[in-house]
Amino acid sequence: MAATAQDSQAPLRGPEKKDEDREDESANRCDSRTVSRQYEQHSVWSCLQVITKLLYLLNQGESFTKKEAAEVFFGVTKLFQKQDINLRRMMYLCIKDICPGADEVIIVTSSLMKDMNSKTDLYRSNSVRVLSKIIDGQLLAQIERYLKQAIVDKSPVVASAALVSALHLLGNNAEIVKRWINEVQEAAQNKNNMVQFHAVALLHALRASDRLAISKLVTSLTKANVKSPLAQCLLVRYVAQVIQDSQPGPNGEQRPFYDFLESCLRHKAEVVIFEAARAICNLRDVTARELTPAITVLQLFLSSSKPVLRFAAVRTLNKVAMTHPLAVTHCNIDMESLISDQNRSIATLAITTLLKTGNESSVEKLLKQIGSFMSDIADDFKIVVVEAIRSLCLKFPTKQRALMNFLSGVLREEGGFEYKKAIVQSILVLIQEIPDAKETGLGHLCEFIEDCEFTYLSTQVLHLLGQEGPKTKEPSKYIRYIYNRIILENATVRAAAVSALANFGAVCEALRPRIIVLLRRALSDNDDEVRDRATLHLQQLEGKAGGPEAVQPRVDVNLTALEKALSDYLAGPTDKPFDISVVPKAPPPLRGAAGGLGLPSASTTSGGGALPATSAARKDPTAEYAELLRSIPQLAPLGEVFKSCEPFRLTEEDTEYAVFCIKHVYEGHIVFQFNCTNTIAEQVLEDVSVAMDLADAGDFEEAFTIPLETMPLNGVGQCFTVVTRQPGAIATGKIVNILKFKVKEIDPGTGEAEEEGYDDEYVLEDLEVTPADYVKPTLLGNFRKAWEELDPSTEKEDEYGLGQREALQDAVEAVIGILGMQPCEGSEAVPPNARSHTVLLAGIFVGYQQVLVRMSFGIDAGNNVAMKLVVRAESLELSEAIHQIIQDA
Amino acid sequence: MVNVLVVGLDNSGKTTIIERLKPRPKQSMEVAPTVGFNVEEVQKGALTFTVFDMSGAGRYRTLWEQYYREADAVIFVVDSGDKLRMVVARDEMEHMLAHPNLRKVPVVFFANKKDLPISLPPAEIAQALGLNDIQDRPWNIFPSNGLTGEGLDRGMDWLAERLGKA
Ligand SMILES: Nc1nc2c(ncn2[C@@H]2O[C@H](COP(=O)(O)OP(=O)(O)OP(=O)(O)O)[C@@H](O)[C@H]2O)c(=O)[nH]1
Ligand SMILES: [Mg+2]
């Protein structure tokens, strides 16, 4: 620390220089021995100064050697005889920060204990804090009673200190801290805001592992009058957690605690209002009606004079816009004025929110506004903007030209790898999804690789050019760009360019002779890989080694399965050649498989934590469970899971066992996953499985079960029941479920479970398999084109009355929710005050069969909503299945 | 201002003795084993002693040396009834006196708990501890009773006199 210590210390030095200071200077280091000598000889004032300097050094990131630390530490301990409040405070800080080692630090225990019983508030509070940091379990038991007293101390400083210390102690000494519950409860009534805040936090932490207890605590706190705004914020968070953990009630039933959250929107303190608004926005499956009051207060915040409120509000609205664009459109005017906000983070969030909620006509205007500040913001934010543009382009394919131009514009500007990658990725997605965008997109990418410093991106673009270029109207115009790479780039890029060129030769016969000439030039490349590829491709183009078709072999197998098959093959005898025909075929490429709503998720590419992930608020259950399912060997023969449904509860609240079911749909099976929790500590439940009565579900046949060894106490364990059905069939029916297990009581005396248990069973709620379980959302570039490509004879049309609704948007959201398909072209947003509206939905059925839905809604003066539903699919049965979903709902 | 370091094995009566040195109203009768150390200030005539009451428990003895450098005097308390651990006390003492950080300051030995029927007389303790070998600094031994305060004044007077001379 020598040299820098000197510098950073300099500005702090007081006017009266001590001799020793001068010595220091000549030695050019901060000698801690000097420090300890100062302690003895000098006044409280100079001690204070020295400690301040030391703490400053520490906070500047300096570290002390063990010896230095010990010397400073013991030096400080010798000051305990001085009765000066300011000095003592600095001593406490010093002891906490410079902890030489567990063996040494205990030396201050007795001194701190003395301070803990002092009359001075500051001594009591700070000694408690320090003590709790250095103490072990045995000593803690000895001083427990003082800490309990401190929690209910008259002085708020002391009470808070004790509560915070208890929170820290909870980690290693939970048993002891739990005994203070009465005192903590008393502190939770304290009139002082800070004390109440800490007490509420501790009450919650004390129950952290027990969901039932948390729920009870939260209920009682929402009824009690929590005055402290910070404590109220905590409570809002806890409430949100409880709502999150509880299963949604049967349709229409109001969420527990929603009233509480809503009432918090009218709280005096802004923090509480914001916290409640945020909690409401984050509710799972939040409805438009629930959102409205929260959006209203956030809208007010948008025009607040405090930047932090504006930021908080726009950030929250930005997230909501992903799932409920319409709810946010009311704020558009306020949002637009934020585009010119001095704070760039606010401006960026405002812009991207507008992009999400905007309608087709405002796209150009927004692009112009963004263009004006794009160069002023950091890469992280630029990525957010790019992601937003991409989603917008997918939503309004007709605007692709303007959006694509914007992307290519920013691609030419300066930027780091992550940013460039996000742009290229977006262009790739757009080329794939929007046929009209292909030619321009490829053109932009060609220009980009002319001057691209990132090998990774160059190779990716070259590969794409090789794939898509030959299929365009004028393939020859790409060849020059690609060949230039072979001359100018590094080996990796050259190899990619060789393969791309060969593709042109293979697909376009007219170009083949020219390509062969160009590839020959690569034969003398100084890189092995480049030469090898050129040699192979030349052979192929000349009709050898499999011929031109072999240039790009069609690997239509599932790559994960292929990898596994190959390693199995290598593990066994290899005298027979590998048979690729046994490897499972790949499912057709899943478009935009990432985000829950099929939208490309931003969170995967946006770097840094500066912004909230703008991806859909809900996780895609299929992605969530995929790993778990893959890890279970018995399920491997079933193939890839097509869709996992949302969990639902099969037991009532507050019963002995909590069981949730998740349906996983496979090609020819359904796997029912049961998440089981035992809530009774006095019993052990073993060999748990669920027996299914399939009498009312004749199309299913039980295949096998995977039992759960023991049902964890207050944790979650899984058992599975697997049924078969005709591959690809939309089989439905109602199933009666019985939970079977062996009970072993726990002897209260010994705490051991009895040896022999007895078999028992418990009837769970029925569950139903419906057509909706077999369909999932898919992203579509051009709905009209896809619609026309489907056979009109599969079309099925019907009309439905949906009864009275508050607004058209409610009805639209409800039907989309029931069908679980992907809205296209932004059609899910109903323009304000519209009396009729058409929504387009795209989905795929198990077996990867497409289904498209066109729904026209109308609302009359009495708010009665009617809907015409037209379906086209790859077969009439599928179209009928969609109608079935609506009829069942 | 004089810094006095009070050491000795655990349970020998250090904290009790220091309590007895304080003015009566401030004395506390109840003492618990010291964890680490405590600092007290006591007045003796014209002198103010800053007393460092160290814990004698094994775990803390290695930490005594951190306080040697500023010690102007040492009080070493021995439990006269604890024959078994006399060798331990001697060992710790020799260790301390040989430590480079401890200056040649005067040492008072209190042969404490003299009221115990099995207590050894000071002369025997001096022998057991090998005090006669100490040549390089002033020292003296006094029988004492920490509970009543008997004998403490004599020791402290001797110390004050030594320090006055220095
Ligand atoms: N009979 C008798 N008991 C004493 C005398 N002095 C101290 N004690 C008792 O000895 C026990 C230990 O005394 P402390 O003062 O705590 O001993 P200490 O040396 O400070 O011990 P540590 O702090 O653990 O190093 C207590 O129960 C005292 O009451 C004495 O002169 N006679
Ligand atoms: Mg003691």
Q: Name chain A contacts of B101, Cβ cutoff 8 Å.
A: none
Per-residue pLDDT averaged across A741-757, rounded? 83
A285 with A813: CB under 8 angstroms? Answer: no
| Residue B28 marked ligand-binding | no
Query: What confidence tens digit (pLDDT) does each residue in A809-845 have?
Result: 888 888 888 888 888 877 887 877 778 888 999 888 8
Pocket flag, ligand 1, residue B146 (CB < 6 Å)? yes
Tokens 């998740």 -> residue: A662
A396 with A363: CB under 8 angstroms? Answer: yes
A590 with A778: CB under 8 angstroms? Answer: yes
Cβ pair B67:A78 closer than 8 A? yes
CB pairs under 8 A between A and B: 47
Tokens 């020791």 -> residue: B155
Per-residue pLDDT averaged across B62-74, rounded? 93
- Going by alpha carbons, the residue nearest to atom 8 of ligand 1 is B13
Strands (E) across A396-509 are located at none
Average pLDDT, chain A: 81
Per-residue pLDDT averaged across A151-176, rounded? 93
Percent above pLDDT 70 for chain A: 88
User: Is any Cβ of chain B less than 8 angstroms from the Cβ of A111?
Assistant: yes
Candidates B50, B59, B62; nearest CB to A81: B50
- What's the rounded Cα separation, in Å, for the pair A774 and A881? 10
- Phi, psi values for residue A842, rounded to 5°: -125, 140
Residues measured by CB to lie within 5 Å of ligand 2, the ion: B 14-15, 34
* Domains within chain B, CATH numbers bracketed: 16-77+89-163 (3.40.50.300)
In this prediction, residue A685 carries a pLDDT of: 87
Candidates A78, A104, A110; nearest CB to B70: A78
Q: What's the DSSP call for residue A557?
A: B
Q: Which of B5, B19, B39, B67 is the best mutation test for A, with the most CBs of A within 10 A?
A: B39
In this prediction, residue A591 carries a pLDDT of: 35
In this prediction, residue A850 carries a pLDDT of: 85
- What's the rounded Cα separation, in Å, for the pair A134 and A102? 7
Chain A: nearest CA to B37, how far in angstroms?
A: 6
B110 DSSP β-pair partners: B77, B142
Amino acid identity of residue A717, one-letter, is G
Å from CA of A120 to ligand 2 middle = 24
In this prediction, residue A592 carries a pLDDT of: 34
Query: What confidence tens digit (pLDDT) does each residue in A38-56 have?
Result: 545 568 888 899 999 999 9
Residues found in chain B: 166
Å from CA of A92 to ligand 1 middle = 29
Q: Name chain B contacts of A81, Cβ cutoff 8 Å.
A: 39-41, 50
Average pLDDT, chain B: 92
Confidence grade of residue A597 (pLDDT, cut at 50, 70, 90)? very low
Confidence grade of residue A236 (pLDDT, cut at 50, 70, 90)? very high
| Residue B113 marked ligand-binding | yes
A264 with A276: CB under 8 angstroms? Answer: yes
Tokens 């709620």 -> residue: A765
User: Is any Cβ of chain B less than 8 angstroms from the Cβ of A139?
Assistant: yes
pLDDT greater than 50 at residue A875: yes
Pocket flag, ligand 1, residue B147 (CB < 6 Å)? yes
Query: What confidence tens digit (pLDDT) does each residue in A678-737 have?
Result: 888 888 888 999 998 888 888 888 889 999 888 888 778 889 999 998 887 888 888 888
Q: What is the pTM of this model?
A: 0.58
Q: Give the tokens for residue A671.
A: 């796997």
Å from CA of B57 to ligand 2 middle = 9
User: Is any Cβ of chain B less than 8 angstroms from the Cβ of A114?
Assistant: yes
Confidence grade of residue A589 (pLDDT, cut at 50, 70, 90)? very low
A670 DSSP β-pair partners: A665, A723
Percent above pLDDT 90 for chain A: 20
Which residues of A, range 37-96, sit inside 8 Å of B by Cβ? Answer: 40, 70, 74, 77-78, 80-81
ipTM above 0.95, yes or no: no
A760 DSSP β-pair partners: A741
A864 DSSP β-pair partners: A804
Per-residue pLDDT averaged across A564-581, rounded? 79
Pocket flag, ligand 1, residue B145 (CB < 6 Å)? yes
Q: Which ligand is nearest to the CA of B31?
A: 1
| Residue B148 marked ligand-binding | no
DSSP A684-743: EEEEEEEEEE-TT-TT-EEEEEE-EEEPPBSS-EEEEEEEE-STT----EEEEEEEEEEE
Tell me how many helices (H) and strands (E) chain B has: 5, 6
- Tell which residue, B33, B90, B75, B39, has the closest CA to residue B56: B33
Amino acid identity of residue A182, one-letter, is N
A807 with A834: CB under 8 angstroms? Answer: no
Pocket flag, ligand 1, residue B80 (CB < 6 Å)? no
- What's the rounded Cα separation, in Å, for the pair A440 and A437? 6
Cβ pair B63:A81 closer than 8 A? no
Chain B: nearest CA to A741, how far in angstroms?
A: 54
Query: What confidence tens digit (pLDDT) does each residue in B76-106 have?
Result: 999 999 999 999 999 999 999 999 999 999 9
Cβ pair B59:A74 closer than 8 A? no
Q: Name chain A contacts of B37, Cβ cutoff 8 Å.
A: 77, 107-108, 110-111
